[in-house]
């Protein structure tokens, strides 16, 4: 099948299943099966369309049935289709067992409608259509946040972003007479896109992507949402915001230097602050939400390096930055899906999201424990996992930037490399904190002590994603050239050629080397090891002696206290009159429902 037929089939599956899941919502288990199986088929079609477009390196144009809007599948947006498809597949399967929990509400309508709108936003060939589809997607997400209070801030910030994007579209129409992205690209080569339009677009899409300081909704929305919804927020919704920023930045191919510098600075701030705030959190979904901000910043660093390369006319910098950013975009979606779904499996069995109330989960949920370890290591960018590969290419772009002729490049290159290294150290600390406090030691509550293995589809989904994380790292030497086909510039090196199998061998061998050395020199002591109670200077062991998440983060909290105080300054909601009123949350939720219904009717009636 062609990529065009696959993508139309995928959207049709999402739309049909959303309606069926709603009709059978009176039977939660049946609705879950319908939504899960249909969503998995739609996701497979989406991923297949993206893979076909990426490998063929051909742009395909067409019209979406039922809605009538034109679409365009390119090697660049194929990366987003693969990302949405792979994550949507395992989230849909996980969601089948998720519906078995008595406290869970049927969410098949919203999740599949969100996926359909996200796919349409990715393949839209019209800027206005992209904004409308992103708005439908965001409104679906508002209802998936878990409550009116959590969705209130997202609704308010989302409508502000939509307003800014609508103004940007109006300015584009006034200057170019079209919103078609193909025509815009041609006309922007003659009349460059104005910085006012670009700024409006970056702020509007930046609110969706959660770029700091536009991130206020991100931790609130993730903290109490269901695990499948939280996974989609990080892997789908926020990635559409990055697509919008990149689309505007590439129009005309003549971006000014300050655009790239601005993206680099925003990316570094988002990565560092997100990683620092994550280390302070104990609610595992809120912690992972801040780590999503960190990785959004890292992706933005790669994309910003590519935009800077366009301004400096350096093809290698363009290829390194965009390839690293796009590959990390895909990889982040995979390992973050592992972590959110793994955290959801733990909540499913224990009812806790606070890691201080867990402990000892590794012995009771071994499959989830192993998968979460892989996901956490990938999040910390440890080789040979996929999180390492994308970040390594981004580091290479910084080294290339540091050797550029522009002074700002020579200044920023080393600073960004050091900043990313510090951010990586924070991620490693957070990995040790989450895994140690959650999975090791003794249980701290009865719920943790009585935990059992996750249901089959949950375990299969999480483990399959963990395997994808391993493959994404080991197969990086083959996958990176494939990703680079989305960048219309070849990445060439002047004098050296490196064997792809040799790189894979080194990636696998380096982490195994310490274990091999230990086995060689201490192997004779392993069979004689004995197990016993922990020695605590002659006293009886108590749970209060075990290190806590709060104690683990305390040294960093003291060192970065001035930075952490910014959390109050970056939260302006206390200045809004009536914001804390419970009626405001109910009002916003009803307004969101009305807007969502109106937009869906408009989109469907256009194709009628």
The count of structural domains within the chain is 1
Phi-psi region of 440 (alpha: psi -120 to 50; beta: other; left: phi over 0): beta
Task: Please tell me the predicted confidence (pLDDT) of residue 606.
Answer: 65
Half-sphere exposure of 2 (CA within 13 A, CB side): 11
- pLDDT under 50 in the chain at which residues? 490-498, 608
The tokens describing 139, both together, are 């409104």
User: What global pTM score does this model have?
Assistant: 0.90
**Is position 92 within any domain?**
yes
**Is position 369 within any domain?**
no
Q: What is the phi/psi pair of residue 63, to 5°?
A: -125, 135
Which residue, chain included where needed, has tokens 């290479």?
A: 396
Task: Please tell me the predicted confidence (pLDDT) of residue 574.
Answer: 54
By C-alpha distance, which of 175, 324, 325, 314 is closest to 251?
Answer: 175
**Is position 355 within any domain?**
no
Q: Is the dihedral of CA 336, 134, 140, 203 positive or negative?
A: positive
Task: Please tell me the predicted confidence (pLDDT) of residue 490.
Answer: 47
Phi-psi region of 439 (alpha: psi -120 to 50; beta: other; left: phi over 0): alpha
445-495 confidence digits (pLDDT tens): 888 888 888 899 999 999 999 999 999 988 888 888 888 888 866 444 444
By C-alpha distance, which of 309, 325, 320 is closest to 254?
Answer: 309
**Is position 110 within any domain?**
yes
By C-alpha distance, which of 491, 431, 493, 114 is closest to 287?
Answer: 431
**Is position 473 within any domain?**
no
Cα 598 to Cα 604: distance, rounded to the nearest angstrom: 10
**Is position 112 within any domain?**
yes
Cα 147 to Cα 149: distance, rounded to the nearest angstrom: 5
Q: Integer distance in angstroms from the first to the last C-alpha of the chain?
A: 26
Q: Name the H helices within 452-548.
A: 456-474, 476-484, 500-522
Q: What is the phi/psi pair of residue 162, to 5°?
A: -65, -40
Task: Please tell me the predicted confidence (pLDDT) of residue 571.
Answer: 60
By C-alpha distance, which of 601, 602, 596, 606 is closest to 66?
Answer: 606
Look up the domain containing 57 and give its range.
Answer: 1-124
Cα 334 to Cα 375: distance, rounded to the nearest angstrom: 8
Cα 75 to Cα 295: distance, rounded to the nearest angstrom: 23
**Is position 70 within any domain?**
yes
**Is position 50 within any domain?**
yes
């Amino acid at each position: 099948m062609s990529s065009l037929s696959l993508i139309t089939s995928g959207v049709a599956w999402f739309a049909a299943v959303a309606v069926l899941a709603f009709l059978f919502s009176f039977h939660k288990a049946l609705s879950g099966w319908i939504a899960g199986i249909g969503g998995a088929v739609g996701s497979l079609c989406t991923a297949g369309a993206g893979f076909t477009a990426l490998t063929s390196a051909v742009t395909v144009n067409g019209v979406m049935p039922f809605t009538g809007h034109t679409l365009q599948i390119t090697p660049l947006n194929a990366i987003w289709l693969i990302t949405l498809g792979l994550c949507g597949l395992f989230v849909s399967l996980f969601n089948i067992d998720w519906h078995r929990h008595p406290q869970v509400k049927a969410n098949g309508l919203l999740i599949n409608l969100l996926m359909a709108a996200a796919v349409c936003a990715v393949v839209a060939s019209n800027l206005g259509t992209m904004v409308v589809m992103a708005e439908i997607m965001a409104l679906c997400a508002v209802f998936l946040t878990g409550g009116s209070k959590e969705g209130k801030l997202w609704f308010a910030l989302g409508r502000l972003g939509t307003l800014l994007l609508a103004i940007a579209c109006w300015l584009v129409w006034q200057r170019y007479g079209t919103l078609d992205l193909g025509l815009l690209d041609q006309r922007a080569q003659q009349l460059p896109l104005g910085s006012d339009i670009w700024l409006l677009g970056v702020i509007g899409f930046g609110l969706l992507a959660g770029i700091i300081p536009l991130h206020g909704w991100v931790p609130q929305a993730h903290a109490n949402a269901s695990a499948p919804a939280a996974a989609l927020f990080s892997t789908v919704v926020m990635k559409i915001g990055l697509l919008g920023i990149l689309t505007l930045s590439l129009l005309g191919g003549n971006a000014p230097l300050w655009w790239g510098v601005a993206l680099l600075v925003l990316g570094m701030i988002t990565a560092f602050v997100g990683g620092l705030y994550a280390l302070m959190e104990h609610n595992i979904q809120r912690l992972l939400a801040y780590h999503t901000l960190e990785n959004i910043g890292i992706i933005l660093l790669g994309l910003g390096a590519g935009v800077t390369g366009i301004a400096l006319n350096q093809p290698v910098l363009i290829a390194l930055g965009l390839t690293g950013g796009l590959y990390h975009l895909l990889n982040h979606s995979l390992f973050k899906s592992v972590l959110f779904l793994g955290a959801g499996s733990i909540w499913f069995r224990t009812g806790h999201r606070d890691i201080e109330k867990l402990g000892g989960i590794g012995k009771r949920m071994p499959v989830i424990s192993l998968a979460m370890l892989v996901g956490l290591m990938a999040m910390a960018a440890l080789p040979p996992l996929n999180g390492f590969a994308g970040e390594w290419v981004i580091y290479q772009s910084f080294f290339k930037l540091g050797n550029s002729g522009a002074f700002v490049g020579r200044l920023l290159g080393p600073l960004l490399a050091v900043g990313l290294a510090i951010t990586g150290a924070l991620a490693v600390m957070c990995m040790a904190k989450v895994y140690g406090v959650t999975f090791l030691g003794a249980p701290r509550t009865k719920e943790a002590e009585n935990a059992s293995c996750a249901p089959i589809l949950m375990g299969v989904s999480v483990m399959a994603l963990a395997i994808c994380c391993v493959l994404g790292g080991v197969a990086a030497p083959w996958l990176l050239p494939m990703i680079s086909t989305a960048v219309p510039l070849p990445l060439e090196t002047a004098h050296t050629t490196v064997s792809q199998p040799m790189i894979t061998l080194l990636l696998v061998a380096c982490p195994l080397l310490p274990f091999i050395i230990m086995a060689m020199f201490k192997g004779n002591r392993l069979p004689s090891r004995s197990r016993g109670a922990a020695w605590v200077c002659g006293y009886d062991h108590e749970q209060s002696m075990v290190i806590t998440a709060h104690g683990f983060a305390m040294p960093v909290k003291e060192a970065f206290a001035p930075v952490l105080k910014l959390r109050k300054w970056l939260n302006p909601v206390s200045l809004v009159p009536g914001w804390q009123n419970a009626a405001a949350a109910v009002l916003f939720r009803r307004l969101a429902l009305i807007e969502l219904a109106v937009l869906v009717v408009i989109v469907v009636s256009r194709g009628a």
